[in-house]
Structure 1
Amino acid sequence: MSNAAKGAASLVTVRNAYPHETGLLAEIGYAAWLAAVASWGESTAALAPAVRQSYERFCHEHRSLILVGETNVAVAGWGARENRRNEISDLWVDPDHQGQGVGSAVLAALEAEIVGLGYETAELHTHARNIPAIELYKRRGYRISSLSDRYSPSLDRDVATVFMTKELADVR
């Protein structure tokens, strides 16, 4: 699959992940998580090993579900639909590439997959304190449906989570 979007600094191409990229993709997810959590002022030391392992396991086990966003210079982010339905389970952009259209390009490609399966809405969850992600999703047409605590296996605790939805009629 390929999709191009004009980013602030470079062209973004979206494609399927390659087998040899799972380690790199895990590192991008982990770095994005670290940057987000650090911006909230929360310590990551106790959680970091389990979170890193969670990204490595996910990227290895679900590589065929991952769409990669790359600029003309590097793999810059990725997203996935873990359940293969209309829920976007992951969207991670390397902190050095945030704000360059990578997240928007990957999100658009995931939405196109969802439309191709016949769904009329896309769904996702994100941490309630992840304001940059929430704002990205709002700019892309998502609306907050609910706020709740949701168990995170990699963190082994409940996390305040925002559930968001988008009508995909515009994507068709």
Structure 2
Amino acid sequence: MVKLFHPAALAGAGNSAVSVPAGIPVRPAKPRDHAALAVLAAASFAQGAAALLPAGLRARADAARFEELFATGGPLLLAGPRALPWGCILAEAAPPGAATARLTGLWVAPAATGQGIGSALLAALEAALASDGVTALRVRVPSGHLRALGLFRRRGYELQAAGRRAEPVLGVTLPHSVLAKALARDLDRDAA
């Protein structure tokens, strides 16, 4: 396995690991959570995707950019305690009745990686979207971000395309892989 690190993430993350319980709590984020989630997302981005960027772009991926992104709306979920969250996931706000939703980003605190937080967040978002009638979820992953690509592949996402796409945080065009997954509806809930 390849693990990507950016010096800024290592400097800001500390060396203390987070102990995550087996049942990872996931819930919708509130506007008051945005500042803490923006700091978490910036640290996660610095550890992962930023390592693939030219040095001049790395510094632009600060917490303020993530806070702006979170303010645009769309489902935003967080994992862990509100005071010190372990991760968050954001999807674009889809128009009512849209069949396909698009994942904006998935970020896990550097000290909490490898403990199932990304999978728990992704599963919760998939379930929420499916219950709203969304039948598929698409995600853009920076090409070369092997950890993220592995997560989505393990969760059943299939490669749809590769090429240059707009990166939502920095607003620049970068090489990305596009993956998608059909979402299963909860038939028991629909029958009730």
TM-score range, shorter chain: 0.7 to 0.9
Is 1:47 aligned with 2:57? yes
Find the aligned partners of 1:133 and 1:119 in 2 and give their Cα distance: 23
Cα deviation 1:111-163 (Å, max 9, x = unaligned): 01221122222111110111100100011111111101013364353211010
Cα deviation, 1:62-101, whole Å, max 9, x if unaligned, reads 3x63100116994101011123352111111111111111
Q: Is it true that 1:89 corresponds to 2:104 in the alignment?
A: yes
Bigger radius of gyration, 1 or 2?
Answer: 2
TM-score with structure 2 setting the length: 0.74
* RMSD value, Cα: 2.5
Matched positions, count: 162
Tell me the equivalent position of 2:130.
Answer: 115
Residue 15 (structure 1) aligns with = 27
Query: Which residue type is aligned with residue 145 of structure 1?
Result: Q
Deviating 4+ runs (over 4 angstroms): none
- Match of residue 130, structure 1, among 128, 139, 145: 145
For 2:51 and 2:171, how far apart are their aligned partners in 1? 21
Percent identity of equivalent pairs: 26
Secondary structure, counterpart of 1:50 in structure 2: coil
Equivalent position amino acid for 1:54 in 2: R
Paired position in structure 2 for 1:77? 87
User: Does 2:40 match 1:28?
Assistant: yes
* C-alpha distance after superposition, 1:44-76 (max 9, x if no partner): 4x22443213212112343x6310011699410
Q: The residue matched to 2:134 in structure 1 has which SS?
A: coil
Q: Residue 180 of structure 2 aligns to a residue in which SS?
A: strand
Please give the secondary structure, in 1, of the residue aligned with 2:33.
helix
Distance 1:165 1:23, change over 3 A: same
Q: Please name the residue that 2:7 is paired with.
A: none
* Alpha carbons of structure 1 residues 154 and 81: separation in structure 2 relative to 1, 3 Å: closer
Conservation of the 8 A alpha-carbon contact between 1:23 and 1:59: no
Assess, with a 3 A threshold, how the Cα gap between structure 1 residues 74 and 164 changes in structure 2: closer, same or farther.
Answer: same
